[in-house]
Amino acid sequence: MIGTLSATGWLFLVVAFGAIVPIVPTGAAVSGTAALAFHDRPYLIALVVAAGAAGAYLGDLVMYAMCRFGGEQLARRLRWLRDEEHLAGVKERLRARQVPVLLVSRLIPGGRVPVLLAAAFAGLPWRTFVVANLPACALWSVVYAAIGLAGGSIFPEPWQGVLAAVALILLVNQVLSRFSKRRAARATAR
C-alpha cells in the first residue's frame, strides 16, 4: 500500500512539473501509475485520478500565470509561440466556447499550450480559467487512468501493465498528432 501511496505523491509532482515543462509525458505517468495501482491496491485508483488531476490543475495554473504575466515576449523566448494564424483561430474558438475548448485541448497531444497561450493573450479572466480548467484536468486524468487500467487488467504482472499503458499512450498520441497535422494541412489548403 505504501508503494502506491508514494507513487501517487510522485505522480502529482511529475504531472505538475510536466504541465509546466511540456516535454514530460504526463499522460503516460498517470496511465502507468493506474496500472500499478490496479495490481497493488485497486481501490487506490481514485487516488491516482485525483493526484493526476490535481497535478495537472496546479501545473496549468502556473503555466497560465506564466503566459499572462510573461506575455508574448516570454512565449517567443521559450518557443511556445510558433504559428500566430493558428493562435488567432484558437482565440476565436475560446471566446465562443471556453469549457469545451479547454476540455479538448487537454486531451489532444500538443493542444494545451496553444490554448493556454490564446486564453492568456485574449485576456480570459483568472476566475473563468480557474473554473473552466477544473473539469478539463479531471477528465484528462480519468481518460489516462482508464488507459492504464486497461493495460493493467490485460497483463498479469504490474510491469507489463505499465509498459502496455505507456506504449498505448505513445501510440494514441502519434495517431492524434498525425490526425491534427492532416487536419491543419487541409485547413491551410482551403
Residues 138 and 50: their CA atoms lie apart, in Å, by 8
State the pLDDT at residue 78.
57
Phi and psi at residue 131, to the nearest 5° = -75, -45
Distance CA 161, CA 153 (A): 7
pLDDT at position 84, please? Answer: 61
H/E segment holding residue 14: helix 2-20
Residue pair 139/107 in contact by the 8 Å Cβ criterion: yes
What pLDDT is recorded for position 50? 95
Contact 130, 116 (CB under 8 A): no
Helix ranges, 41-111 (H): 45-77, 84-96, 98-107
pTM of the prediction? Answer: 0.77
CA distance 179 to 33: 27
Q: How many CB atoms lie within 10 A of CB 122?
A: 14
- Output the pLDDT for position 1: 46
Is residue 183 packed enough to be buried (19+ CB in 10 Å), middle (13-18) or exposed (0-12)?
exposed
Query: Distance from CA of residue 176 to its chain's centroid?
Result: 13
Angle value at C-alpha 27, between 114 and 181, nearest 5 degrees: 45
- Is 94 in contact with 129 (CB distance < 8 Å)? no
Cα 30 to chain centroid distance, Å, stands at 10
Phi, psi of 83 (to 5 degrees): -125, 100
From first to last of its 190 residues, the chain has per-residue pLDDT tens of: 456 567 778 899 999 998 888 788 888 889 888 888 888 788 889 999 999 999 999 999 998 888 888 766 666 665 555 556 555 666 666 666 666 777 777 777 777 777 777 778 777 888 888 888 898 899 999 988 998 888 777 777 767 777 777 777 677 767 766 776 776 677 667 6
For residue 120, the model assigns a pLDDT of 80
Contact 20, 62 (CB under 8 A): yes
